């Protein structure tokens, strides 16, 4: 009986290894809360990377460091990697890749069979799929699997009508990752087998000012001035849907709070 219980409950855990959820962090406090709430009971460690530079090379506050108290229930799981050096010699894409590859600084205690998920913060996988990552990799002799996600723009309840799906989180083992690097694995995600309907990509969230700030910070943004009217036109071009059971539980439970923060459209 004891042997049977061990096989049912503990052997899968020992075989599976630990799960590390890894992502660069800009300033998206609300999205971080949604992510941590969604994945807390299926992830062993969150590797959060933030830099004193934006991807475009401008100065950036350490937003997570300044707001750690908001995430007290999760701090024992968060490995906080701070890139505190500047690299004016980098082109923008070099800097973006450098910041993503700094994920490796948070994986120093990993073992080969540990699962490493590489995402942008706003790409949130459905937690029930995490238990299937290793089986799919082994069945397909793959170095990674990709989570295909529904794309939302500007508000959590505005699904993109033109590009409804996108490749988001990619997962691999540490054995595979240490032979390459996080950016290499992410660049290959379009070639891996995909979990379908596997999560949510919530991009350009938080209202006009935060959209503008992101445009002036990320590698695929712009240095040009962006008017309120142009941002309003972009936001209003995407239809609104009601919140239902297909959304992360945190969104359902904190609907009014997220509306007040301009993360949900009215």
Q: What is the DSSP string of 24-82?
A: E-SS-HHHHHHHHHHHTTT-SEEEEEEESB-TTS-B---HHHHTGGGGGGGGGGEEEEE
Provide the pLDDT for residue 239: 97
Count CB atoms within 10 A of the CB of residue 157: 23
Q: In a structure prediction context, what are the per-residue pLDDT tens digits for the chain, which is 266 residues long?
A: 544 433 333 344 445 689 999 999 999 999 999 999 999 999 999 999 999 999 999 999 999 999 999 999 999 999 999 999 999 999 999 999 999 999 999 999 999 999 999 999 999 999 999 988 888 888 888 899 999 999 999 999 999 999 999 999 999 999 999 999 999 999 999 999 999 999 999 999 999 999 999 999 999 888 898 899 999 999 999 999 999 999 999 999 999 999 999 999 98
Is residue 205 assigned to a domain?
no
Provide the pLDDT for residue 160: 98
SS3 244: coil
Q: In the 8-state DSSP scheme, what is residue 189?
A: G
Which of 109, 110, 130 lies closest to 12, judged by CA?
130
Between CA 57 and CA 242 the distance in angstroms is 38
Tally of domains in the chain:
1
Provide the pLDDT for residue 16: 61
Is residue 44 assigned to a domain?
yes
Is residue 160 assigned to a domain?
no
Which of 143, 153, 263 lies closest to 200, judged by CA?
153
Q: Look at the pTM and tell me if it is higher than 0.85.
A: yes
Is residue 212 assigned to a domain?
no
Provide the pLDDT for residue 223: 86
Is residue 23 assigned to a domain?
yes
Is residue 224 assigned to a domain?
no
Which of 204, 25, 199 lies closest to 123, judged by CA?
199
Task: State the residue range of the domain holding 21.
Answer: 17-145+168-193
Is residue 31 assigned to a domain?
yes
Provide the pLDDT for residue 73: 98
Is residue 30 assigned to a domain?
yes
Q: Which domain CATH number covers 140?
A: 3.90.550
Provide the pLDDT for residue 140: 80
Q: Which residues on neighbouring strands pair with residue 23, listed in sequence order?
A: 48
């Amino acid at each position: 009986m004891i042997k049977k219980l061990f096989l049912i409950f503990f052997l899968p855990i020992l075989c599976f290894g630990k799960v590390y959820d890894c992502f660069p962090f800009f300033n998206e406090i609300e999205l971080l809360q949604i992510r941590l709430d969604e994945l807390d009971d299926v992830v062993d460690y969150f590797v959060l990377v933030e830099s004193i530079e934006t991807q475009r090379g401008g100065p950036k506050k350490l937003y997570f460091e300044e707001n750690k108290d908001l995430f007290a229930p999760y701090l024992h799981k968060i490995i906080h990697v701070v890139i505190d050096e500047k690299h004016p010699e980098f082109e923008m894409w070099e800097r973006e890749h450098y910041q993503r590859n700094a994920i490796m600084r948070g994986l120093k205690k990993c073992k080969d069979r540990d699962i490493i998920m590489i995402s942008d913060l706003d790409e949130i996988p459905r937690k029930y799929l995490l238990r299937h990552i290793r089986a799919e990799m082994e069945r397909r002799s793959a170095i990674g699997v990709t989570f295909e996600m529904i794309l939302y723009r500007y508000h959590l309840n505005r699904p993109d009508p033109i590009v409804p799906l996108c490749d988001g989180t990619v997962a691999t083992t540490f054995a595979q990752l240490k032979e390459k690097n996080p950016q290499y694995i992410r660049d290959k995600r379009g070639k891996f087998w995909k979990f379908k309907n596997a999560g949510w990509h919530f991009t350009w969230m938080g209202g006009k000012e935060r959209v503008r700030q992101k445009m002036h910070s990320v590698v695929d943004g712009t240095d040009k001035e962006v008017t309120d009217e142009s941002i309003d036109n972009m936001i209003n071009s995407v239809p609104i849907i009601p919140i239902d059971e297909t959304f992360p539980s945190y969104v359902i439970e904190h609907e009014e709070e997220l509306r007040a923060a301009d993360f949900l459209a009215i």
